[in-house]
Structure 1
């Protein structure tokens, strides 16, 4: 692709072939770091996982592999969580295709960046979390509301959870194996 040429970020027509991942940071009122690993299915806009602890990215992905299978491709930025030896080794061991966006081009990871912006505006910026437990509770409440009660025009005015279920019922989900 020539320099400067734009290509659309195509949304997959099946659930699970492409996930976008990012990390969002915040702080509690007591100054403790809040670090959220966010994984979004590009097709359904469903938040696949939200980890808010010190678990490594590879451990979270291993857990997801057992519960729903892995995608064919994972798109990330160039953060240290995604470029380190552990993640590279995990991807190689699982034959997982990784796509890292160009530095300074968050629009190349638009699905998860849009999700993170919405979460920041509607949840993180709206709450002053006294503790990590309070942060976990509020972030999980917001995640459920987003996945189960928000209708998206781009997926037929369905909620991400309902759309993912419709694809599962249609035997369209490709677990990536």
Structure 2
């Protein structure tokens, strides 16, 4: 610059933006001011309009916790200030005043009774080693409402062991079909129980479902969010059901839809052949599995 070159040319040659140069030139640490929002007014308003200073409100809070409200948190103390002292005050201010007085109740730690177990890679060699479950929605055009289908599939023999069809699908319904599936496969009191793989739907993370798996000594693993490929077999089955049963006809009533799904389940298990299981039906392949006569490659999931 002493030789007459402009600042713009020099900055372009050395590759420094103009904004960086001027920011550093005029920046002063001691001049920086951080805005912390609007300052606290120091009072709240009574219902009749007069102002109540914060020091008086703190005395009200101490009076409340000195009596029968000693176990109240700041939310309930806010309600009591409004009810007992007719103050127009919000919970954020009460939280701040309680923090200044050091009377905030400690937060309770959330206890997770059933820790989440993520699905892991497995090698499946026979039936009843890994089951997958999922819930699908179906639409009844004639009644303009949805129905729910929850299915459990054995990923080795591809059979739908049991399923639920209804206008609702709760954790209780899911537990019922899992219990029925174990009964159909005669697995109660067996030493090696199948692993149950599901997504993170509310029915599958419920206490009722987790408690049943724990009681039956079944390992329940859940796939990570947004990874339906880890539940691929049941997702594929529900896609087949959508194409071959639900979307190729107009379902007018719930009874008609229920009958159509039952007929499809029977067809799928007993008459529909699969190329991945030697062009057999799921039930035929399951019977071969029990005799150890299939000779197919291990399944890696």
Q: How does the TM-score come out when normalised to structure 2?
A: 0.51
| Structure 1 counterpart of 2:211 | 89
Give the alignment partner of residue 227 of structure 2, picking from 105, 110, 113: 105
- Residues in 1 aligned to 2:273 and 2:158: alpha-carbon distance in whole angstroms: 11
Q: Which has the higher contact order (CA 8 A, sep 6+)?
A: 1
- The 5 Å alignment of 1:10-159 reads 12-28=124-140, 29-53=142-166, 54=168, 56-70=173-187, 71-159=193-281
Count of aligned residue pairs for this structure pair: 165
3-state SS of 2:131 partner: strand
- What's the CA shift string for 1:111-157, capped at 9, x where partnerless? 10111111111111112211221111111111222222222221112
For the pair shown, the structure with the greater C-alpha radius of gyration is 2
* Residue range with higher mean Cα deviation, 131-140 or 143-152: 143-152
Alignment CA distance shift 1:11-1:114 (3 Å):
farther
3-state SS of 2:203 partner: helix
Gaps of 5+ in 2: 1-119, 188-192, 295-301
3-state SS of 1:158 partner: coil
Is residue 11–residue 43 contact of structure 1 (8 Å, CA) maintained in 2?
Answer: no
Is residue 199–residue 222 contact of structure 2 (8 Å, CA) maintained in 1?
Answer: yes
3-state SS of 1:104 partner: coil
Q: How does the TM-score come out when normalised to structure 1?
A: 0.84
Is residue 9–residue 108 contact of structure 1 (8 Å, CA) maintained in 2?
Answer: no
3-state SS of 1:52 partner: strand
